[in-house]
Structure 1
């Protein structure tokens, strides 16, 4: 909230297995993710890996929808205005309607949904101007990984305010996507639930990125074990 009150750039991203494996295999995206001011472990597998590899001692993940809700609650309490950028128009309308009911004190400065393609320079300039004109102090970005992180990276200086990348949080809070049961989330099975909900969209992503993540974590674990001095 300090950055929001001060009007200074800040990048925050709730990052899952998908984002980490993309950073490991795509040098351009690695540069983007390394520039983020605060990266939080959105998935349980990421939390487990941090605990095993680095002794982080994390008790839970920082789930994108929960992060968004908590930031909105604090923003409402402190009179900070927010903007929602991403998803689809109908999702944003439902999201805003719900927030008016559940968080009536939240100042929603505006929202917009860009087309699902690369914007022309003119279109991009118009989006930036719209966000600036709204006076929003925090911008939530829900474009999906890696598009949202790239967008935030490219616009941090132009917008000069906190940009919070939250993935599918807009859809979850709008009620257009079902969240996995709590027991599945706790056991790191949310990916399986989402695969059942959206098989055509997600099967390629999971088939590619889950094995890469397992290999990367296993390799780092074995490297650490083998490099330790004998007792």
Structure 2
């Protein structure tokens, strides 16, 4: 069992629909990771947005997962907007893909090692190639595409051993929400690295999909750009969670 030695109580948070969203910005987060990465092994970071926050409000078990890691960062623009209105003036949108980019930029200098867990073998191979092209010398400790079925205890134990043997600093988990957060919670204290649930981050860096233009990101419209790219999969999700979020916040929840 890997025991966390970082004091979670020192992280500023804003409770939104029951989820303790970190009231931070990217500068704060990068400094925090730089200072504490060795002590964060075995813990996890949730990249939280409107979708995951509404699910957390509706499902207590998932809410416990969101609150059970070291951080739940405000990937969704509306979360940081609410935080600032509540007095957290420095709280800003801190997206998963942007966090990946900032960490990749300094990985060679700081000797960070990365393990990528999730997605398909095809996407992981493209991701491996693209990262080596963009960040020469980056240490990719391992990649693993899990089967699209429940894994046996023996299979799970084997992949934990593979991850730990690779000695990663960061374990990027791309299974999609809420699966990736549940996976991280189930492996808290078992893997020797910091887990970060990154959602579509693998697809962005494998160049399977493009990120929204910067002006859309800055105006909390990245969800719309993603919806245009994949309407069949995302329309139902956004229609339910976005409207539900607005309704709950309007009611003072």
Give TM-score, length-normalised by structure 1.
Answer: 0.89
How far 1:116 sits from its partner (Å)?
A: 2.6
Structure 1: state its 5+ residue gaps.
224-231
CA separation in 1, counterparts of 2:186 and 2:61? 12
Pick the aligned partner of 1:169 from 201, 204, 214: 201
Q: How many residue pairs are counted as aligned between the two chains?
A: 220
Alignment of 1:149-164 (within 5 A): 149-164=181-196
- Residue of structure 1 equivalent to 2:43: 10
Of stretches 5-14 and 36-45 in structure 1, the one that deviates more from structure 2 is 5-14
- Residue of structure 2 equivalent to 1:20: 53
Alignment of 1:38-57 (within 5 A): 38-52=71-85, 54-57=86-89
CA separation in 2, counterparts of 1:155 and 1:67? 22
- Residue of structure 2 equivalent to 1:144: 176
CA separation in 2, counterparts of 1:55 and 1:117? 44
- Residue of structure 2 equivalent to 1:74: 106
CA separation in 2, counterparts of 1:7 and 1:30? 21
Pick the aligned partner of 2:66 from 29, 33, 36: 33
Question: Is residue 107 from structure 1 mapped to residue 139 from structure 2 by the alignment?
Answer: yes
| Higher normalized helix content (fraction of residues) | 1
- Give the RMSD, CA atoms, in angstroms: 1.7
How far 1:7 sits from its partner (Å)?
A: 6.7
CA separation in 1, counterparts of 2:248 and 2:46? 21
How far 1:2 sits from its partner (Å)?
A: 4.5
- Give the secondary structure class of the aligned counterpart of 1:122: helix
- Residue of structure 2 equivalent to 1:228: none
User: Deviation per CA, 1:63-87, whole angstroms, max 9, x where unpaired?
Assistant: 1101011122233211121101111
- Residue of structure 2 equivalent to 1:227: none
CA separation in 1, counterparts of 2:178 and 2:79? 17
CA separation in 2, counterparts of 1:211 and 1:129? 42
How far 1:3 sits from its partner (Å)?
A: 4.4
Structure 2: state its 5+ residue gaps.
1-33
Which structure has the larger Rg over C-alpha atoms? 1
User: Deviation per CA, 1:51-109, whole angstroms, max 9, x where unpaired?
Assistant: 22x22224631011010111222332111211011111111111111111111121110
- Give the secondary structure class of the aligned counterpart of 2:187: helix
Give TM-score, length-normalised by structure 2.
Answer: 0.82
Contact 1:4–1:80 (Cα < 8 Å) also in 2: no
